C-alpha cells in the first residue's frame, strides 16, 4: 500500500465474513519499512470459506479490497509397516494415518543374534532410527541379518570315562532362524546326518567304542551360512581284559604253549577258550590251564592226544595226569577229583587250574572248547 500524498498517515483494517472460520482477532496487518503484510490464523480444525475485506484510509480517502479465503483439511497419508524377520519395527507417534507434513520417527530393534542392514520399501537408507516427514503414503520394512551360529548341546555322554563299550550320543541342535544341515563325525570321518525332531533333539545309538580315546564331532549350519561344531572325546577302557601274548614257535610233536594275561576291575565268573584246528596237523588236542603262582602269567597248552579213547590211561594212577590226557578215564577222574574254587580268591591265578575236554570231535574243521569257573 502507498499514498501519493506525502506526509499522510495510512491506517488499515481487516474484517472476515465467517467468524467461525476466521475471527477478526485472528487477522493482523503490519507495516515494516514501507512493506505491509497480512497474517490470518483460521480456527483450529475449522474448514470452509470466508471473505476478507481490507480497508485502507489516509484520513481523507478510503479504499477497500476484498478476497476469498478457502480453508481445506490437510491431506491424510497412510503409513504401512511390515515387521521384519529377526526384529521389531516401530513408529512414533504411533498410528497408521498421518496428516501431510507430520514428522515421524521409525526404529528397528534387532532380536538377539541379528543386526540391522537397511530399510526396504518406500525408504532407501541404512540409518536407524530415521526421522522424516510424511508427505505421501509410505510402505516401510527392514532387512536384518542372522549373525548367530547354531547351538549344539550334548546331554549324553557326560564328561569323564564311560563303562559300557556300546555308546549312545544324545543332544539338541537349535538355531535362532532355520537350520540347513547337521552332521556327525567319528574322528575326521563323516558318518552321516543327524535325525533331530521338531525340537532339535537327536540320538545316535549303537556306537562300539575302541580302547582308549574315541573322538566325536557334531556340526550344524543355518540358512544364513553360520556354522557351529561341538567336539568331545569319550574315554573307554575294558573293565576285564584278556590278552593272548605271543607264543614261541613249536616243532612237530611238541606242546603248543601260549601265555595269557587277564586284567579285571571286578570278579570273573568264568573263561571259555575255543580252538579251531585242522586234524591233519593237530590230532584230538587236550587243553590244560595252569597258573602255578599268583605272580606268574597263566599258560594254556594244546597237544596231540596219543591214546585211543577206548584204552585205559596208563597214567590213571597219577592224579596230575588227569589234566593232560583226553581219555574217558582221565575225564571222569578229573570231574570227580576237582573241587569248585571260590570266586573270592585274592587273585585268579593263586592255584593251579586244570581243564579237560568234556566233549570231543575229530571231524575236520571242528572247534574245541574248554572252560573253567573261577
Query: In 3D, which of 45, 115, 97 has the Cα closest to residue 73?
Result: 45
The residue ranges of the chain whose pLDDT is under 50 are 292-326, 328-374
Q: What is the 3-state secondary structure (H, E, C) of 53-110?
A: EEEEECCCCEEEEEEEEEECCCCEEEEEECCCCCEEEEEECCCCEEECCCEEEEEEEE
| pLDDT of amino acid 87 | 96
Beta bridge partner(s), residue 286: 303
User: Could you give the C-alpha distances from 257 to 67, 173, 289, 302, in angstroms and in order?
Assistant: 131, 55, 10, 7
| pLDDT of amino acid 267 | 66
Half-sphere exposure of 227 (CA within 13 A, CB side): 4
Domains and CATH numbers, the chain: 11-71 (no CATH), 76-146 (no CATH), 154-236 (2.60.40.10), 241-373 (no CATH)
Residues 6+ positions from 189 with CB-CB distance below 8 Å: none
Query: In 3D, which of 74, 141, 137, 85 has the Cα closest to residue 114?
Result: 85
| pLDDT of amino acid 191 | 95
| pLDDT of amino acid 62 | 85
| pLDDT of amino acid 348 | 36
| pLDDT of amino acid 73 | 86
Name the region of 152 (left: φ>0; alpha: ψ -120 to 50; beta: rest). beta
CA 186 to CA 136: how far, in whole Å? 61
Bridging pattern class, strands 48-57 and 11-16: antiparallel
Query: In 3D, which of 280, 255, 266, 272 has the Cα closest to residue 364?
Result: 280
Longest dimension (CA), the chain: 170
CA 337 to CA 241: how far, in whole Å? 30
| pLDDT of amino acid 290 | 63
CA angle 108, 113, 118 (to 5 degrees): 35
User: What pLDDT digit, counting tens, does each position of 281-329 carry?
Assistant: 666 776 666 654 444 444 444 444 443 334 444 444 444 444 444 454 4
User: Could you give the C-alpha distances from 213 to 59, 167, 186, 229, in angstroms and in order?
Assistant: 114, 13, 11, 19
CA 118 to CA 143: how far, in whole Å? 6
Strand order in the sheet with 179-186: 189-193, 179-186, 212-222, 227-236
Phi, psi dihedrals of residue 25, rounded to the nearest 5°: -70, -15
The owner of cell 482477532 is 25
Amino acid at each position: 500500500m502507498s499514498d501519493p500524498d506525502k506526509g499522510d498517515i495510512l491506517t488499515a483494517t481487516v474484517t472476515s465474513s465467517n467468524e467461525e472460520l476466521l475471527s477478526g482477532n485472528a487477522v493482523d496487518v503490519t507495516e515494516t519499512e514501507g512493506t505491509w503484510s497480512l497474517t490470518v490464523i483460521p480456527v483450529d480444525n475449522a474448514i470452509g470459506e470466508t471473505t476478507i475485506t481490507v480497508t485502507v484510509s489516509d484520513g481523507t480517502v478510503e479504499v477497500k479490497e476484498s478476497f476469498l479465503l478457502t480453508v481445506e483439511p490437510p491431506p491424510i497419508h497412510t503409513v504401512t509397516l511390515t515387521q521384519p524377520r529377526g526384529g521389531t519395527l516401530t513408529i512414533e507417534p504411533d498410528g497408521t494415518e498421518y496428516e501431510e507434513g507430520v514428522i515421524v520417527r521409525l526404529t528397528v530393534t534387532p532380536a538377539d543374534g541379528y543386526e540391522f542392514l537397511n530399510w526396504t520399501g518406500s525408504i532407501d537408507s541404512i540409518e536407524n532410527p530415521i526421522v522424516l516427514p510424511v508427505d505421501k503414503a509410505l510402505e516401510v520394512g527392514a532387512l536384518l541379518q542372522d549373525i548367530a551360529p547354531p547351538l549344539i548341546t550334548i546331554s549324553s555322554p557326560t564328561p569323564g570315562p564311560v563303562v559300557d563299550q556300546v555308546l549312545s550320543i544324545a543332544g539338541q541342535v537349535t538355531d535362532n532362524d532355520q537350520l540347513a544341515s547337521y552332521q556327525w563325525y567319528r574322528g575326521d570321518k563323516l558318518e552321516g546326518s543327524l535325525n533331530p525332531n521338531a525340537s532339535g533333539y537327536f540320538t545316535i545309538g549303537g556306537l562300539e567304542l575302541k580302547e582308549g580315546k574315541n573322538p566325536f564331532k557334531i556340526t550344524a549350519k543355518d540358512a544364513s551360512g553360520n556354522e557351529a561344531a561341538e567336539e568331545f572325546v569319550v574315554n573307554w577302557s575294558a573293565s576285564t581284559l584278556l590278552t593272548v601274548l605271543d607264543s614261541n614257535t613249536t616243532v612237530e610233536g611238541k606242546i603248543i604253549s601260549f601265555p595269557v594275561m587277564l586284567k579285571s576291575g571286578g570278579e570273573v565268573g568264568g573263561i571259555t577258550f575255543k580252538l579251531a584246528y585242522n586234524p591233519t596237523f593237530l590230532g584230538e588236542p587236550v587243553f590244560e590251564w595252569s597258573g602255578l603262582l599268583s605272580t606268574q602269567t597263566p599258560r594254556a597248552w594244546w597237544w596231540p592226544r596219543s591214546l585211543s579213547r577206548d584204552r585205559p590211561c596208563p597214567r590213571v594212577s597219577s592224579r596230575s595226569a588227569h589234566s593232560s590226557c583226553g581219555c574217558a578215564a582221565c575225564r571222569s577222574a578229573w570231574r570227580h577229583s576237582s573241587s569248585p574254587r571260590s570266586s573270592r580268591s585274592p587273585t585268579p591265578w593263586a592255584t593251579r587250574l586244570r581243564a579237560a575236554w568234556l566233549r570231543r570231535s575229530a571231524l575236520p574243521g571242528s572247534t574245541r572248547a574248554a572252560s573253567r569257573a573261577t
